[in-house]
Structure 1
Amino acid sequence: MGEKQSWTSEQLHCLLQTCIDEVNTNGRKGLSLKKESWEKVGKILHERFGLTLAQRQLKNAYDNLRGKYIGWKHLKDRTGNIYNSQTNTFSLTSEEWVEFKQRFPKAASLSSVPLVHPQLCETLFGGNTATGEMRWTPSSQTTSNVASSSSRRVPMLQILDTPFGDYTDDAATSFADNASPSSRASPPPRASPPPRASPPPGASPPPGASPPPGASPPPGRPSKKAKPTLDDLADKMEKVLDHMMKVNHVPSVDECYQKLLRVGYSSEDPLFVAAMMVFGQFPSMRESWLSVPDHDTGFIMDNDEMMLLLIVMFLYIRHFWKRGCKRKRDDDLRGSGLRYTLSILSDDTSCTELLRMSRESFVRLCAHFRANYSLTDSKHVSVEEKMAMFLIVIGHNQRYVVVKHNFKHSKQTIHKFFHEVLAKMMIFAKDMIVPTSFDPNPNIPGHNRRLRRVFKGAVGALDGTLIHAIVPPTKQDLYRARGKGDCYQNVLAICDFNMIFTYIVAGWEGVAHDAKVLSEAIADPGASFPIPPPDKYYLCDAAYAHTRGFMAPYRGVRYWLGDFRRTRAVTDKEKFNHAHAKLRNVIERSFGVLKARFPILKRMAPFSLVTQRNITIACFALHNFIRKEGFNDHLFAQYAEPSVSVGHNHGNASPANEDEVGVHGSAADREYMSHLRDEIANQLMQAGNI
């Protein structure tokens, strides 16, 4: 039963079709099937073909087909005429096949054997594969609100959620400021900007600058018409309604009541009551409704036009209702948020507990955003309040209603400024999370200096970590990490030996293997992965390939620090793994600081997936800012000790399963790193205890 099974095309067809039926009936468990479904699949294969297969054999066949489908789908989606639909084969050069086999080892046979039953594979595996479509890295060459155009699967980086139509905003700014460009169809009128200084004669205006009033548009470029506002729309609605009232007989209010009865509404019907309230409050609405005849004869509108009229009436009512219900601020609450912020800053302990950083760090952070990222005070909310509200949300995983109680602002206002700060954080992250220079770092902590003399080429540590995510039900299978019931996003990170993150990729689905996240980051030119020089390398665990630029431990040998607490390392390989783990532990401790400071990473708030990813990136950026500023921080001091217990913060890794380890680099690169690892192991063996 443990032997490798040779499958025929008919058997694979039965396997795929039965799995599809089970998915439709019982659903999935992660990317695989449930236990009872596997039992049924095995039973059907036994009845039809006499096969007696263990569940592991069925899963291996399932995983192999899935891996081959992923590679097949990758090639099929490539541009160029390389796919022959008649033979289901691909035309690639020998060099392209070598590169493809390195990225998709389970699909290597596609060079000689086509994918069997591609339509069934598409039905079973399509849409159930981790693609990293939400991923983004601050090291990308693109701006913070545009994803890499060179990446085939990276969408635009949408920084903001769909905004609230905030007509009750304390900030005296329009909701259009909080909307993405695509959502600003009809923004309300905005205040005129202050006059700008005239440029010197002959100087061209700066990009995006508006021409002075009265200036003619540049030749050859048509002038842009002003976008219609809601007030313009309301004026047009009134004109339409006036015209309708002139050309149609206008009944009385009593006739309005009688007509509602004639069309089938009783006085107890909630719609009847609501209609009478609207008609009693807005004469134009009542008269427009009553201008519609009871019968179709002579009626000039078809059904579509009638529906359009109803929609226009609805928009009209909603606009004027919201404009009439604009909240007036209570003078007793004016400045309450600022007072609360100042009360936090009055005590350094309170600032550290509530804002998750020292008072000096917070003041420096606000000044940094004022000077470099155009974060400004609004009419009623200062930069310090905006930043404090943002930090309390991510530092304590607080909901808007709690922040509202403390700062005395509406939830719409809190939502608006939370996303305003988050948008600035994406630009901030590009400045804070930058690749290392690969030069020797003179500020290495003392307890690592002896190891660094042995691992001379180590420039940092690399690992993945799981960040909790709130995911729609239709996508939860892709975000449930193996062995965990909750949903997560997988984040790849690199840090130096000062616990500063130098590279991150956030937004991958939780089921994505750590090695796949790394291989995709290396292959994606838009991700700008910092490949170390030939004589340098990152320290990584056994989930990653041991090749040039990436130093992994020996497989099948004790590795984790807890494995050496009772029994000392004896062999040269054990000594290497122990020293490797002690030095690589810096990224585990960095993850520990990050998640201890920002609990939202352990239990995410129900934002959109894009916002959850951006919050994660913002937390990494703030972590680096606090570390780089050099202020005394209790969390960094706590996790600076190499003996601190941090557990395993790694992401989705299965070190024991070599099939899951990504393969990149040439055979010569892997041989070079294996030789270097053996040299370090011999050196450690001769040196004794380090």
Structure 2
Amino acid sequence: MVYASDVRCINSLRMDRHTFSILCSMLRTSGKLRDTRNVSVDEMVAMFLHILAHHEKNRIIQDRFLRSGETISRYFNVVLRAVLCLQGQLLKTPEPVPENSSDEKWKWFKNCLGALDGTYIRVHVPEADKPRYRSRKNEIATNVLGVCSQDMQFIYVLPGWEGSAADSRVLRDAISRRHGFRVPHGYYYLVDAGYPNGEGFLAPYRGQRYHLNDWRQGYQPTTPEEFFNMKHSSARNVIERCFGLLKMRWAILRSPSFFPVKTQCRIVIACCLLHNLIRREMAIDPLENQLNAIMDNEDDDDDDIINFIDSSEQWNDWRRELATQMFNEWRGNRNTR
């Protein structure tokens, strides 16, 4: 399953042999995993990754690994706790877009640290809790806040909020926690129209063309607001791609698991940490090649919901100046060609 070839390893565990070896080494060093008399660390980790990747039931894993159901359950939880110990090493440290950036997506957003959004991940909860976890899409789910960098690595993840909670409420909780989400002064993240345009969070203009599909018919922006929205959407799309790749990679995030809610939330964090490791260590990720076609066919209905924390007039003025500057520079470049 692991060491025969990279192709087989990726198909089974979603990572190549090199990345798998690095993960096992990190779990031995930082996660304090140890071989037991009957089960090696490599096998513990392989069982864990296989469950995340394919979301197979315990009895299927018993047949594949020739282990008892109790052994599989015990080591799944052991490895899960060890992976969570790697947060300090695997969560991405945010890096601002530099002044001299030449990246077509990001060069307009100097000092931007990345993008954030919420996503729903379906969960099993007791019957009495279902109304609180029912999302606007009528799914029983947890609303997960994800923050990612320009290269699609997670900076911060907060699962656990009920599906009925508004994205802005989840963000407000994240920034109020003692060791929660922090945005240094002078820096910011790109957010969608469901969040306020306030210090640290740059939102698009409402009532203007925004989603990438709006610009694929040859339509050109005619106002600073439209041009700003086009560039904002192109850059902020990184968080949508990040969530899309995460769910493609780990089948356990695509359907409810039968773990307690607290364990399900830990699984979400573990999947994000492993996603970061794969992004760093694997030069070629086969799943990324499948992502574009899937995302092109998905509709984004986030604009149907308006949730506000506190907007800032000063931030609105800065957005207006930035949009005008971006539009004038773009129009000037077109006229000189």
Cα offset for 1:372?
2.2
SS in 2 for 1:345: coil
Q: Which residue of 2 aligns with 1:503?
A: 156
Cα offset for 1:408?
0.5
Whole-angstrom distance in 2 between the partners of 1:439 and 1:589: 19
Cα offset for 1:682?
1.4
1:464–1:493 CA contact under 8 A, matched in 2: yes
The higher relative CO (CA closer than 8 Å, separation ≥ 6) is in 2
Q: Which residue of 2 aligns with 1:400?
A: 58
With structure 1 as the length reference, what TM-score do the two structures score?
Answer: 0.46
1:461–1:587 CA contact under 8 A, matched in 2: yes
Whole-angstrom distance in 2 between the partners of 1:492 and 1:598: 17
Whole-angstrom distance in 2 between the partners of 1:457 and 1:441: 8
Cα offset for 1:425?
1.4
Q: Which residue of 2 aligns with 1:542?
A: 193
1:662 equivalent in alignment to 2:309: yes
SS in 1 for 2:114: strand
Residue 607 (structure 1) aligned to one of 251, 259, 263: 259
Matches within 5 A, 1:324-339: none
Over 3 Å counting, the alpha-carbon distance change for 1:389 and 1:577 in structure 2 is same
Q: Deviations over 1:15-73 (max 9, x none)?
A: xxxxxxxxxxxxxxxxxxxxxxxxxxxxxxxxxxxxxxxxxxxxxxxxxxxxxxxxxxx
Residue 22 (structure 2) aligned to one of 329, 348, 364: 364
Q: Which residue of 1 aligns with 2:229?
A: 577
Cα offset for 1:386?
0.5
Larger radius of gyration: 1
Whole-angstrom distance in 2 between the partners of 1:479 and 1:385: 35
Residue 558 (structure 1) aligned to one of 204, 209, 216: 209
Cα offset for 1:437?
4.7
With structure 2 as the length reference, what TM-score do the two structures score?
Answer: 0.91
Q: Which residue of 1 aligns with 2:126?
A: 472
Over 3 Å counting, the alpha-carbon distance change for 1:624 and 1:441 in structure 2 is farther
Unaligned runs of 5+ in 1: 1-342, 665-669
Cα offset for 1:644?
5.5
Q: Deviations over 1:77-116 (max 9, x none)?
A: xxxxxxxxxxxxxxxxxxxxxxxxxxxxxxxxxxxxxxxx
SS in 2 for 1:377: coil
2:246–2:271 CA contact under 8 A, matched in 1: yes
Equivalent residue letter for 1:420: V
1:592–1:646 CA contact under 8 A, matched in 2: no
Superposition RMSD on alpha carbons, in Å? 2.4
Whole-angstrom distance in 1 between the partners of 2:269 and 2:84: 7
SS in 1 for 2:157: strand
Whole-angstrom distance in 2 between the partners of 1:381 and 1:431: 26
SS in 2 for 1:452: coil
Q: Which residue of 1 aligns with 2:33?
A: 375
> Which runs of at least 4 in structure 1 moved beyond 6 Å after TM superposition?
none
Q: Which residue of 2 aligns with 1:463?
A: 117
Structure 1 window deviating more from structure 2 (641-650 vs 549-558): it is 641-650
Matches within 5 A, 1:592-603: 592-603=244-255
Over 3 Å counting, the alpha-carbon distance change for 1:621 and 1:631 in structure 2 is same
SS in 1 for 2:199: coil
1:491 equivalent in alignment to 2:144: yes
Whole-angstrom distance in 1 between the partners of 2:278 and 2:99: 19
Cα offset for 1:606?
0.7
Whole-angstrom distance in 1 between the partners of 2:25 and 2:299: 36
Whole-angstrom distance in 2 between the partners of 1:542 and 1:553: 6
1:462–1:538 CA contact under 8 A, matched in 2: yes
Equivalent residue letter for 1:366: C
% identical equivalent positions: 36
Equivalent residue letter for 1:476: K
Q: Which residue of 1 aligns with 2:76?
A: 418
Over 3 Å counting, the alpha-carbon distance change for 1:643 and 1:507 in structure 2 is closer
